[in-house]
Amino acid sequence: MTPFSLLDGAVQGVRWGQGRKVLALHGLLDNAMSFSALAEHLPGIELWAIDLPGHGESADLPVADGQFVLSWLPRLGQVIDALDWPETIILGHSLGAMLGQLLAAVDPRIKLLLCLDGLGPAASALEDNFQRFEQLYQQRGRLIPTRYYSSFEQIVQSRQRGQFPLSPQAAQRLAQRAIGQSPAGWYHRYDRRLRQASLWRLSEAEILYWLAQITIPVELLVFAIDTWPDHPALFSDRQAAVAQLSTTLMRGSHHLHMEHPEPVAHWLLARLL
């Protein structure tokens, strides 16, 4: 594992292996170490995993209260500029997969997308967007407070009990870049704005339009199939919007690539080598 730094230190990351270069984008509130277990099973692949803005050791995005998914793209475009590879292949998990798809719609340097458990961002109707923005406006300047823990073990256990539960081993891997310590105790080190409601969301029609602009092969590996039955029509419409999409189901948790990396690595290698 070798650390690297881009954009005058604004973006930090780690890389593993040698071979075909792949840029890895992690999920929300994760960090570059979410790919560490997977990297151990990818011979012939040089995996460059960044900490997305506001995560791990990277700087925050210069945004106001709330997040808008498209605001991430210019910074990620600068990362691709800095790497300056002959071809750009993106491996994305969850949020990282969604960002990779949006990037591929506007950046012709991306030649292949490998997506883990993510197809397009969350959508909202106009009235929902207005109500969310109105709420954020009324709460402007208020951030979710930092919670402190009395021990390293306690804070790692809290990460295990998140929205998507993790094993102790997976939580420990993330902790290497996700936890800080101060006189007040141990704390999760991420931009608190990441836990606020989205400033604005694209409509479903806009998302389908963006997905339709992707002209390269997109390989989608779906883990958490049990999260989709409430929205089968939405998922089918998004699949149909991507011209060169291939979808594979591999039952498991949302962080299957961290918990059981071998089958995920086998799936990736079949598409990369």
- Strand-pairing partners, residue 13, are 4, 50
Active-site positions read 94
Quote the DSSP letter at residue 96: H
The CA–CA distances, whole Å, from 77 to 185, 191, 240 equal: 36, 21, 26
Please report, to the nearest 10 degrees, the dihedral formed by the alpha carbons of residues 249, 178, 102, 7 taken in order. -140
50: exposed, middle or buried (Cβ count in 10 Å: 0-12, 13-18, 19+): buried
Contacts of 209 (CB under 8 A, 6+ apart): none
Q: Is 24 helix (H, G, I), strand (E, B) or coil?
A: strand
Helix or strand holding residue 218 (H, E): strand 218-222
Structure tokens at 194: 């990441």
109: exposed, middle or buried (Cβ count in 10 Å: 0-12, 13-18, 19+): middle
CB 147 within 8 Å of CB 188: yes
Q: What does the alpha-carbon distance between residue 72 and residue 25 come to, in Å, rounded to a whole number? A: 12
